[in-house]
Structure 1
Amino acid sequence: MRGRIKELIQLFIVIWMVFGAGDKIFSSFISPKRPRIDKYCFDFAKVLDRDLVREINIQGQALKNTFDIDFVVVIVPSLDGRDIVEYTAELFSNWKIGKNTKGRKGLLILIALKEQKVKIEVGYDLEHIFTDLYVAQVEREMLKEFLEQADWQKGFLATIENFVERIYKMYERGQDVREVSSEIKIEYYSGGAGAQTVFDFGKALRTPPPQTSQALRQYFSAQPTPELAFRRYMEHCAWNISDYSLELFNDRTKQFFKYWHTSTGQRRSEAEQCSGVPYQVRQKGKWAVVFFPNPDPIKMAMYPVYLIEKTEKGWQMDLDAMARGLSYGGRFVHWVDGSVLFPYVELFMSDYTLMPNMSVLVRKDSDVGTFGIYYLGNGLYDPLEPGVHIGIWTEELSIKTGLKDGDSIIEIDGYRVKKGREGERLVAKFLLDKVKVGDRHRLRILRNGQQIILNVEAQPLPDAFARFKRCFKVPRVWLGIYIATTTEVEQRYAHTYCVILDVAPHSPAEKAGLKRGDIILSLNEKNEDIYTGDILKLLEKLKPGEKVKMVVLRNLKDRINITIIAEETSQQGYF
């Protein structure tokens, strides 16, 4: 009898906790309070891989540091029969999402796996930025479409990128999200209601793609000029056509989109972004670029650089090369690094260089300057030392500024530089952001345990493409290749970072049997982690008649041995 009474008491306690406690229990899967205030991804359904969780946490921290927005992703196995609108609003308030901001600036993405529903909840002080109409569009055109392509990574990261673009657009209209704060105290952190979207996870993988009509195939074919190809591509985005097998795209791009997913929201956003903005077309030989020049390099970096190739079919968009050579971080377009070797670089070499700390294009005749510094990562210095540790981009900049790799900046113009993000923000303010040639600052440096005072002066930007100019000094030794960085998909098959982008006709590489798309697995004696920079170093020492031995991966399956015999040439361009 006593045992039965004990069971009833325990049952009553459970019922009271679920229906009578101050904080409702959402489900058996989720904590009634936020587990950690410094984490932003909570996958209670255990469907995301560790790398994606880490990336979402990094992006969440960046949104907090940059825009004072508390961005949270929650995935639950089930809603346990509850309405997702009610569930999300209650979770938002009980977790107090946005409490760690100046106002109530929280953003929550909730995904219920069993019900296959997604809901974005917006904090009170962000409702004029992320309106119900905008949020519904993001749910429908970004998250839903990527989830139906079974692509968690692109779904979340593309959505975050879209949020950032939205913040910048509103900033340009005079609404700075960082300055928003609540003037009155309210009980709840969000208004509830708003949109909700149902998805069918993986549906696109089970459904044949829509067939493009013959008329549209003809319209979106290869074009007679690069400008016409660009215009057709803008229409392709604006009309929301998801078919990348069209002849408007070169063969590499067609192959690339077998693995790369896009969404309606991305295509529409790209078309809207470029609409009405003045652009410039540059062409040399079979390579062309379309870009959006601006004397302000930051504003210029807000727009893509489009790469276009002339094949036997006509001018075709080379989105594959864009994906390899350009990085779209936040709202800015960055060139991957100084080792970008594909031929489009040549079209910028005469009058542009790259800003070292951002790798964005800037005119050589501008007054933009640099102190040549970047932050050193953890593990590269003594963590007990104060200040912010730096590296220097080039030896020449080190000589001119007096700064050296491993220096720790502990004071700038009398302002103490603290460790961590606060110190990095101070360094960025004085030494990285909006630097002009001739700017001067007084630094206190810690070097090898000794404090040093340096008066540093900003220098003109170095020529980021100088190393490529050896291709235009003839006669010279060559192999006859253009190379680029491997994509994420290729790196799954080969843990290396260099792919053949193009092979020159009648070149030593062509004679040896090397082909476009071959991934370099080994180079002479080096059998792992082959980078584009390894090819550059090899070419600096190469002599006519020398053999270059490679093992390449072709079509992501066949390993092939290649031996190239270097030759002297008077042809310009290829390496």
Structure 2
Amino acid sequence: MNRSILFGLGSCAVLLSSMWFLHNQQKPSPATFSAESEPIFTQSTLALKSHIIDKADFIPVVDIPRFEQYMSWILRESGIDVRMVFLPNMGNKPIETLAVDLMSQMQIGKQTGQQRGILLLYDVQGQRLKVEVGYGLEAVFPDVFVNYLVEKHTKTFFASGDVSLGLRLMLRLLQHRMREAVIGNDFDPRTISIASELPHLSGGAGVKSELEVGTTRNKPVAQPNNADALPPGPSPTIAYQTYLTWLSTWPLNSNAGFLTTESRQYLASLPTSPAYAEYIFLSEYGKQFKVIERGDLALLYFTDTPFVSPHFFIQTDGVWQMDLMAEVRNTREHSGGEYTWAYHGDQDKYTYAFQDLLITVEGYRRIKDGDNRPLVIRGDH
């Protein structure tokens, strides 16, 4: 039975789905607070098992129910208890010590019996983030992955000026790693090594370094004179390889020739940040895929990951371009269920061309020769 919730678009079209959390965010003024003397939470908070405790009024109030729902579905999917705590300051207590204390006091992850909990603790005044991982998840989230989140990814999204959006992207990165672990995939440190070398990533000096909150959002920058730098490909596979190269270069060139005209127009109007490109790149890098061509249309789908939706390509004047708008229209991402994406296209040229490849699995339309392994849902805890 399909019990998932629809919360976004396809893998590359996550650019649009993440606008769900777009809000102008101003850096709050730290309040007077003592982490040692004032209770971090109340008994009523514990009773409700809130995933977010925001004593700094750091996240827009309208976003908190959405975060709560999202993290509750992560818990159902993977049995991993994710909590976020935002404090105006740490008082006289080191953030590392407070994180350990909160893990114990809030009993994060203990309800699963396997210490399957993660705490994201943020010090607003000191602009520091600490990610504390329960013992039962150390193999799932090794130090190299956690350090990447804090030192690289976090700096990138905090600089974008939209804290809610950045936190959602961090949750998506965590969720993707959880999903890989659920189907038995070990963590591949090469993905972090590659991502750390991408030119658009900012440097970091460790967990205690400052994470400044910016005031502007980034957009892909159209570069008219650079349209030929990322040209259409002689095949869909070459066009896809160009797409991966495109993701690794910031700012994204929305005038890139490998994209269809409609896709370029779409990207030029879309707020984004380097974190978008990181998330997509990390989810697709090194994955195996197949390409099926039907006339001037092609479908690329993945055979060793059930978590990435297919890509669409079209041939014009003998060369192939990537059709991101077809992905926006035809695929959707889901959370909390056995499958993380589904094909929703109907009565368009791609759906007609590849109709024989579509099957329905547990209420989800998928590609019959793709990786259709379901998530093992741990159920509500």
- TM-score, reference length from structure 1: 0.47
Cα RMSD after superposing both structures? 3.8
Higher relative contact order (CA 8 A, sep 6+): 2
Q: 2-side partners of 1:318 and 1:211: how far apart?
A: 18
Question: In structure 2, do the counterparts of structure 1 residues 309 and 117 end up closer, same or farther at CA, with 3 Å as the change threshold?
Answer: farther
Aligned residue for 1:334?
Answer: 341
Aligned counterpart for 2:148 among listed residues 134, 137, 140: 137
Q: Tell me which residue corresponds to 2:170.
A: 159
Aligned residue type for 1:362? K
SS, match of residue 259 in structure 2: coil
Give the gaps of 5 or more residues in structure 2.
1-32, 187-205, 374-378
What is the CA-CA distance between 1:348 and the residue it aligns to?
1.6
Separation of aligned partners in 2, 1:155 and 1:144: 10
99, 105, 108: which one aligns with 1:97: 108
Tell me, yes or no, if structure 1 residue 269 matches structure 2 residue 285.
no
Q: Does structure 1 residue 73 correspond to structure 2 residue 84?
A: yes
- What SS class does the counterpart of residue 141 from structure 2 fall into? coil
User: Does the CA-based 8 Å contact 2:343-2:365 persist in structure 1?
Assistant: yes
Q: Map 1:44-443 to 2 at 5 A.
A: 44-80=55-91, 82-173=93-184, 195-196=207-208, 198-202=210-214, 205=217, 218-237=228-247, 239-245=248-254, 246-257=256-267, 258-262=269-273, 263=275, 265-274=278-287, 277-285=288-296, 287-292=297-302, 294=303, 301-310=306-315, 314-329=319-334, 332-335=339-342, 337=344, 340-355=346-361, 357-362=363-368
**1:108 deviation in Å?**
0.9
List runs of 5+ in structure 1 lacking aligned partners.
1-16, 176-193, 369-420, 426-575
Q: Which amino acid aligns with 1:361?
A: I
Superposed CA deviations along residues 327-354 of structure 1, whole A, max 9, x for unmatched, are 23359552353x6444221232134233
Q: How far, CA to CA, are the matches of 1:95 and 1:348 in structure 2?
A: 50
CA distance in 2, matches of 1:39, 1:82: 23
Aligned CA distance change for structure 1 residues 220 and 112 (closer, same or farther; 3 Å): same
> Could you say if the C-alpha distance between residues 67 and 198 of structure 1 is closer, same or farther in structure 2, counting changes exceeding 3 Å?
same
**CA distance in 2: counterparts of 1:236 and 1:122, whole angstroms:** 33
Check the 8 A contact 2:129/2:207 in 1, yes or no: no
The alpha-carbon distance between structure 1 residues 25 and 282, as it changes in their structure 2 partners (threshold 3 A), is: farther
1:151 positional shift:
3.2
User: For residues 186-238 of structure 1, what are the alpha-carbon distances to aligned partners after superposition, in whole Å with 9 as ceiling and x for unaligned?
Assistant: xxxxxxxx945532222663x89889797x7533123343332112112333x
Distance 2:146 2:229 in 1: 33
- Structure 1 residues 140-176: Cα deviation after superposition (integer angstroms, max 9, x where no partner): 443332232233444233322322322343345578x
Over the matched positions of the two proteins, sequence identity in percent amounts to 17
1:160/1:351 Cα in 2 relative to 1: closer, same or farther (>3 Å)?
same
SS in 1 for 2:293: strand
Q: Per-residue displacement from partner, 1:340-380 (whole Å, max 9, x unpaired)?
A: 444221232134233352232336xxxx9xxxxxxxxxxxx
Change in 2 beyond 3 A, CA 1:322/1:51: farther
Partner of 2:26: none
TM-aligned CA deviation for residue 305 of structure 1: 0.5
- 2: CA distance between counterparts of 1:90 and 1:154? 28
Aligned mates of 1:224, 1:82 — CA distance in 2: 60
Change (3 A) 1:254 1:212: closer
Paired residues of 2:309 and 2:341 also in contact (CA < 8 A): no
1:283–1:81 Cα change, 3 Å:
farther
CA contact (8 A) 1:142 1:266 kept: no
| CA distance 1:244–1:42, change in 2 (3 Å) | farther
Distance in 2 separating the partners of 1:213 and 1:81: 53
| Paired residues for 1:540-551 under 5 Å | none
Residue 36 of structure 2, aligned match among 6, 12, 24? 24
Distance 1:209 1:343, change over 3 A: closer
Which one-letter code corresponds to 1:101 in the other structure?
T
Cα separation, partners in 2 of 1:349 and 1:335, compared to 1, 3 Å: same
Say which SS state the counterpart of residue 158 (structure 2) adopts.
Answer: helix
Deviations 1:365-422 (A, max 9, x none): xxx9xxxxxxxxxxxxxxxxxxxxxxxxxxxxxxxxxxxxxxxxxxxxxxxxxxxx77
Return closer, same or farther for 1:137/1:340 CA change in 2, 3 Å cut-off. farther
Query: Structure 1 pair 66/252, CA: closer, same or farther in 2 (3 Å)?
Result: same
CA shift digits 1:72-114 (9 cap, x unpaired): 0122233346543333233323323223221222101122333
Whole-angstrom CA distance in 2 between matches of 1:56 and 1:132? 25
Distance 1:85 1:253, change over 3 A: farther
CA distance in 1, matches of 2:168, 2:230: 29
Contact 2:128/2:207 (8 A) holds in 1: no
Amino acid at match of 1:132: D
Distance 1:323 1:310 in 2: 19
Bigger drift between 261-270 and 64-73 goes to 261-270
Cα gap change, 1:256/1:197 in structure 2, threshold over 3 Å: closer, same or farther?
A: farther
Aligned length: 316
User: Matched residue of 2:283: which SS?
Assistant: helix
Give the Cα separation in 1 of the matches to 2:208 and 2:325.
34
Partner of 1:415: none
Higher strand share: 1
Name the larger-Rg structure.
Answer: 1
1:41 aligns with 2:52: yes
| C-alpha distance in structure 1 between counterparts of 2:317 and 2:92, whole Å | 59
Tell me: CA distance 1:85–1:323, structure 2 relative to 1, closer, same or farther (3 Å): farther
In 2, Cα distance between the equivalents of 1:26 and 1:236? 49
**How far apart in 1 are the matches of 2:207 and 2:114?**
23
**Alpha-carbon spacing, 1:26–1:55, altered in 2? closer, same or farther (3 Å):** same
8 Å CA contact 2:301, 2:367 repeated in 1:
no
**SS class of match (2:111):** coil
Shift of 1:273: 4.5
